[in-house]
Amino acid sequence: MASDEQDRPDIDALVAELRARVAARRASGEYPPGLEEDLETRFGHLRRHGVSPARPFDVRAQLARMAAALPLGRARIPLTSIRPGGAAVHQIVARAVARQTEGILQQVQAFAQPARESIEALAEAVERLDRTLRDEVIPALDAVIERQAAAERQATGAAGAAGGPGD
Amino acid sequence: MTGPGVEIHQIVVSAAPGDAATEAAFGLRDVLRRVGPSEVFAHSIDESLAGEVGTLADYAARPGTAGGRNVLVYHASIGEPAVCSFLLERPEKLVLVYHNITPAEYFLDVDPAFAALLADGRVELAALRPRVSLALATSDYNAADLRALGYDDVRLSPLPVDTARLRALPSDPATVAHIDEHLKGPLVLFVGRILPHKRPDLLLSAYHVLVTYLVPDAYLALVGSCPQPGYRQVLESYRLQLNLHRAWLPGRVSPEALATWYRAAAVFVTVSEHEGVGVPALEAMAFDVPVVARAFAAIPETLAGAGLLLPPDGDPVLVAEALAEVLGSDRTRRELVNAGRRRHATVEPERARAAFLAHLADAV
């Protein structure tokens, strides 16, 4: 069994070895030229220019508000008044124009109902897309990137075995 | 050590869980209470500590403080004019515990107000110097910094780092469930507040290199709070741009969850450019997790040869290469874990507490 001293890592030697590995991978092209600069530039740009704040928009809450506003109907128009006798006046006017009010409400309802259903369908589609992106597309993309990286490593290894610059 | 009726209380600027100065104050409070009544007071207090930490006004209103016979231990890690004025006006003997103050430059674009407080901190330390009866530093690095600020007699008083308490905690079920479900490869772990001087951007860059060229199935967790929302958003965008969806930023976690992350980690990494001590590296050693770090500030003395210490010019590629070495080489890993165990064995919180009391007894 190794003693404590024998088991002590030689950090300086290890760092020198790591530096040599980095240099070899750079020379072989495994690490593309400008890799660090590209990363630094990318983050520097984000930090300098910031990120536009994401405005939280709860589409489901808005749809619920929309649903609560339907169906439209004369009964939802208040007939109360703060003025003495005002309620009676409102009731008389409401009865007088009931046919026209109903007609307008029916037209608006005919527009609002399909509009609400369309927005609901769109929201569901967006949510479905988001799930697909998160659960399928990104992992698939990641798998492709991993396979590409593995292929590049294999190619570099083969070049190294053949006495290439990665050796 | 103290006369009858004399109390020793501690002051921090902002009391918050996970904050180094706050945690140090709690660690020392335990031992101060062996001597007499001892509480922690702060200028601002995280709501989770509302019952445990009092305000400066609470201290002033405390019976028996009018005569100035008490001792105040001030943990300095940032400036705050209100605290400085309070300390300058109080008649009590003042003991300074210096945790270091991060250079303001790191925060100028992210949080100018915070940067100003950091800059104030150094000015305030100079102003407090004539009031300070005893100056303690938690590392040699901090001691040197304090001397540079004009303090002649600075004594070393290590932090009472109690990793045994952390190791004894049960795992957090929610974190275990997350790890069980999602972690399918070796976990690279960073623990600490997500702040610019800790260079989380460099960690993401290094992780990008690691998974793209060296260890494709590696995961990364940056565990800690990110007080600046704008900075967190920039990091998130950078993470998304690099398609690093296996890099996680779970935010501030409970002690149980923290212990769970340490238990799951294959390697601990910090590329921080400013640390007064670097406690998470010691915690990682306590969990037998090998440590990779860069040689900045107090990190070399904290590791004391027990981690893979990269030069300060270490770029993300070198950091990634170091992580790949630790993840891929059983020998390197074993050597670092063993070295970490030996280093960790020298971390004795009770001895640190005793040293603190001894310094205090000399001065008071």
* Same domain? A33 vs A63: no
Domain count within chain A: 2
- The answer to whether B305 contacts chain A (CB < 8 Å) is yes
pLDDT (tens digit per residue) in B73-111: 999 999 999 999 999 999 999 999 999 999 999 999 889
Nearest to B347 by CA among B315, B306, B308: B306
Prediction ipTM score? 0.86
pLDDT (tens digit per residue) in A28-52: 999 998 899 989 988 998 888 766 5
* Any domain includes A164: no
Check B338 against A142: CB less than 8 A apart.
no
Please give the backbone phi and psi of residue A61, each rounded to the nearest 5 degrees, phi first: -65, -40
* Same domain? A72 vs A100: yes
* Same domain? A45 vs A61: no
Query: Which of residues 223 through 282 in chain B touch A, CB cutoff 8 A?
Result: 230, 233-234, 236-238, 241-243, 245-246
Between B56 and A8, the higher pLDDT residue: B56
Check B332 against A14: CB less than 8 A apart.
yes
Rounded distance between C-alpha atoms, residue B14 and residue B352, angstroms: 23
* Any domain includes A163: no
Residue B59 in this model has a pLDDT that exceeds 70: yes
| Chain A residues inside the 8 Å CB shell of B212 | 145, 149
* Same domain? A139 vs A100: yes
* Any domain includes A4: no
Name which of B205, B310, B336 is nearest A39 (Cβ-Cβ): B205
Given a contact cutoff of 8 angstroms between Cβ atoms, the answer to whether A116 and A63 are in contact is yes
Candidates B237, B294, B326: best to mutate against A (most CBs of A within 10 A) is B237
CA geometry: angle B27, B175, B320, nearest 5 deg: 85
* Any domain includes A166: no
Q: How many residues does chain B have?
A: 364
* Any domain includes A1: no
Q: Could you give the C-alpha distances from A2 to A5, A6, A152, B346, in angstroms and in order?
A: 8, 6, 38, 21
pTM of the complete model: 0.78
* Any domain includes A63: yes
**Residue range of the domain that includes A40:** 9-51
Q: What is the pLDDT averaged over residues B118-136?
A: 95
- The answer to whether B208 contacts chain A (CB < 8 Å) is yes
Rounded distance between C-alpha atoms, residue B77 and residue B296, angstroms: 18
* Same domain? A16 vs A28: yes
Beta strand B71-76 pairing with B154-156:
unpaired
Q: Which of A50-54, A63-67, A150-154 has the highest mean pLDDT?
A: A63-67
CA geometry: angle B51, B54, B60, nearest 5 deg: 150
* Same domain? A13 vs A38: yes
* Same domain? A36 vs A101: no
* Same domain? A110 vs A31: no
| Chain B residues inside the 8 Å CB shell of A22 | 317-318, 321
* Same domain? A69 vs A98: yes
Whose tokens are 């460099």? That residue is B202
